[in-house]
């Protein structure tokens, strides 16, 4: 058996507070291996989004250490891509130009840019919308463009902050399946923040449940179903049992607010 | 009645009513007072008689209006950039911008005449001063109103400050800029006319519409005065139409202020 790969993200006794405010993260220890798909679940305000922002280097740790791809988060930033809850497309640019903008800002040549944007648009099955403006797209299509734009950067780590939270159930399930299909071909590591237990179980190989005030890692749940997972996975008995278990666990850490 | 017919018929009917009322009032006035309200026919005749001098004056006013307007667009854009980029500049400059806005520009006219002489230069500066404020306020507002999420996206991409301004803040500010531009476009011809009225000159190729108004007024050519007002009005329409077209060209495909035609 070969030696285990070095972790791609490693929090060690990581603590975060904003200014003089309350602790957001308290002595977090968390390790994720390359190629994992992990979901972060927990009550609102438990610091899940802060965790993503820490990995992205958008905000510094207060104490402890965080290694991303054997570097500091800031040094690893070029190998990360962030997908926000909003599609965050620039309304004045057509779909193609939106996808190519971060590439252009990195100084990648036009020919290579258009090859990349064609490839990722094909990946999210939106090639026919290449020349559309964002306002001509549906909510689900906008999100797919947003994901395509993230993938165009060939990230090692994809940070997704409730990307499908604003979409209807059907669209969300479709996009979940699409996301896994894309991952079959591109082995990025995913950090996925969500409020949906079903989504977390369907997508991830591990689920981290956080409790709030201050956030600490409450439980870590492995999801044993093998990839590739399809729509049929959702119909299986073990899937439903796990969703029920996780939901129960999640309810036990939710603060009693009436 | 179809929507389209309505948009033609209703304004036409209003116009006809106003003209009828105009003739009626003229007829009702006693003989010796009728000169105060020349009939539309008399105004049209005055238009024809004074066509040459009105056209020349309109051209001069247009020149002052365009120069002042263009100068205001350029200078206000730089000011707006500086104001949006630095909080210190904003705090330091804003009170004086307010003071400038509160000051009736017309009191500068005599001073300007002393400084740069009567004529085009003075008219241009007065137009500039009148157009400057709505432009700088709207553009600054646009530059600081960039969507927080998009700013975060650019932070994620580790872009330079210059890239953020060029690729995010400036395009995001365009709708605000055009709001300012529309206001300034309606102010520019009036500003030039008022400037010309107080600081105009018949030197060179003659004065503008404001100067022409003074001449007609001193000669008691009231129909010609009405024709001058109408000419200014037409000028304002042309300015506004120009800016609206430009705004349409730049924004209609992506901005929500224009209908989404191919959904």
B156/A56 CB distance under 8 A: yes
pLDDT one-digit tens code per residue, A101-148: 999 999 999 999 999 999 999 988 899 999 999 999 999 999 999 999
pLDDT tens for each residue of B45-86? 999 999 999 999 999 999 999 999 999 999 999 999 999 998
pLDDT at residue B257 in the model? 87
Residues A174-218: pLDDT tens digits? 899 999 998 988 889 999 999 999 999 999 999 999 987 777 788
Cβ contact, residue pair A78, B168, below 8 Å: no
Quick check: B184 pLDDT over 90?
A: yes
ipTM: 0.89
Instruction: Work out the burial of residue A117: count CB atoms within 10 Å of its CB; fewer than 13 is exposed, 13-18 middle, 19 or more buried.
Output: buried
Token duo for residue B137: 């306020």
Using a CB-CB cut-off of 8 Å, the residues of chain A touching B156 are: 56, 58, 77, 80-82
Q: Name which of B93, B110, B101, B115 is nearest B72 in CA terms.
A: B101
Is the CB of residue A243 less than 8 Å away from at least one CB of chain B?
A: no
pLDDT value for A256: 56
On the question of a cis peptide bond just before residue A233, with omega within 30 degrees of 0, the verdict is no
pLDDT at B204: 59
DSSP state of A133: -
Contact call for residues B195 and B122 (beta carbons, < 8 A): yes
Residues of A with CB below 8 A from B159's CB? 105
B262: pLDDT strictly greater than 70: no
Where is pLDDT greater, at B143 or A26?
B143
How do residues B9-48 score in pLDDT, each as one tens digit? 999 999 999 999 999 999 998 888 888 889 999 999 999 9
Q: Which domains does chain B have, with CATH numbers?
A: 47-251 (1.10.3720.10)
pLDDT per position as a tens digit, A192-204: 999 999 999 999 9
User: Which has the closest alpha carbon to B67: B189, B178, B202, B244?
Assistant: B189
Does the pLDDT of residue B176 top 90, yes or no? yes
Nearest to A7 by CA among A39, A29, A40: A29
A203 burial via Cβ count (<10 Å: 0-12, 13-18, 19+)? buried
Give percent of chain A with pLDDT exceeding 70: 96
For chain A, positions 29-58, list CB contacts with chain B under 8 A: 56, 58
CA distance A207 to A190: 12
Please tell me which of the candidates A78, A106, A133 has its beta carbon nearest to residue B254.
A133
CB nearest to A58's CB, from B156, B174, B260:
B156
Candidate from B155, B172, B256 with C-beta closest to A58: B155
Of B156, B159, B174, the CB nearest to A82: B156
Reported as a pLDDT band with limits 50, 70 and 90, residue A258 is: very low
- pLDDT of res. B247: 95
Count of beta carbons in the 10 Å neighbourhood of residue B32? 7
Geometric angle at alpha carbon A144, from A142 and A150, rounded to 5° = 110
Chain A interface mutation, best of B149, B156, B157, B255, highest count of A Cβ atoms under 10 Å: B156
Whether B192 and B64 have beta carbons less than 8 Å apart is answered as yes
Q: What is the pLDDT of residue A9?
A: 95
């Amino acid at each position: 058996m070969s030696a285990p790969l070095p972790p791609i993200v490693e929090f060690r006794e990581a603590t975060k507070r904003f200014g003089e405010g309350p602790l957001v993260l308290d002595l977090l220890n968390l390790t994720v291996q390359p190629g994992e798909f992990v979901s972060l679940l927990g009550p609102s305000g438990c610091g899940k989004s802060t965790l993503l922002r820490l990995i992205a280097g958008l905000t510094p740790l207060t104490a402890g250490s965080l290694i991303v791809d054997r570097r500091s988060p800031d040094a690893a930033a070029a190998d990360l891509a962030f997908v926000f809850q909003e599609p965050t497309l620039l309304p004045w640019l057509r779909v193609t130009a939106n996808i190519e903008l971060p590439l252009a800002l990195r100084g990648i040549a036009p020919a290579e840019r258009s090859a990349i944007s064609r490839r990722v648009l094909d990946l999210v099955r939106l090639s026919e919308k290449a020349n559309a403006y964002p306002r001509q797209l549906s909510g689900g299509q906008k999100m797919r463009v947003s994901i395509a734009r993230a993938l165009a950067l060939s990230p090692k780590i994809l940070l997704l902050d409730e990307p499908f939270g604003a979409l209807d159930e059907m669209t969300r399930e479709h996009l979940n399946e699409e996301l896994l299909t894309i991952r079959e071909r591109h082995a990025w590591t995913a950090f996925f923040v969500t409020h949906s237990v079903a989504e977390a179980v369907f997508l991830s190989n591990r689920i981290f449940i956080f409790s709030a005030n201050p956030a600490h890692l409450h439980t870590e749940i492995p999801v044993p179903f093998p990839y590739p997972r399809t729509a049929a996975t959702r119909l299986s008995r073990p899937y439903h049992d796990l969703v029920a278990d996780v939901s129960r666990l999640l309810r036990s850490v939710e603060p009693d607010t009436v | 009645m179809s929507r389209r017919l309505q948009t033609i018929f209703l304004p036409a009917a209003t116009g006809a009513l106003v003209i009828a009322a105009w003739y009626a009032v003229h007829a009702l006035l006693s003989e010796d007072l009728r000169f105060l309200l020349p009939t539309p026919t008399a105004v049209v005749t005055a238009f024809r008689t004074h066509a040459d001098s009105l056209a020349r004056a309109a051209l001069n006013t247009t020149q002052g209006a365009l120069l002042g307007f263009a100068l205001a667009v350029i200078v206000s854009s730089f000011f707006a950039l500086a104001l949006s980029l630095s909080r210190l500049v904003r705090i330091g400059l804003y009170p004086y911008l307010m003071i400038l806005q509160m000051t009736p520009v017309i009191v500068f006219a005599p001073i300007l005449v002393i400084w740069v002489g009567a004529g085009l230069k003075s008219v241009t500066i007065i137009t500039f001063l009148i157009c400057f404020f709505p432009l700088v306020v709207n553009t600054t507002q646009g530059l600081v109103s960039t969507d927080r999420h998009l700013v975060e996206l650019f932070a994620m991409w580790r872009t330079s400050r210059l890239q953020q301004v060029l690729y995010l803040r400036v395009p995001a500010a365009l709708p605000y800029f055009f709001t300012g531009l529309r206001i300034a476009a309606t102010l520019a011809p009036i500003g030039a006319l008022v400037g010309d009225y107080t600081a105009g000159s018949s030197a060179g190729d003659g004065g503008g519409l404001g100067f022409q108004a003074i001449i007609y007024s001193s000669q008691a050519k009231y129909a010609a005065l009405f024709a001058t007002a109408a000419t200014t009005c037409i000028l304002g329409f042309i300015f506004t139409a120009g800016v609206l077209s430009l705004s349409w060209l730049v924004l209609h495909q992506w901005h929500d202020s224009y209908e989404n035609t191919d959904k």
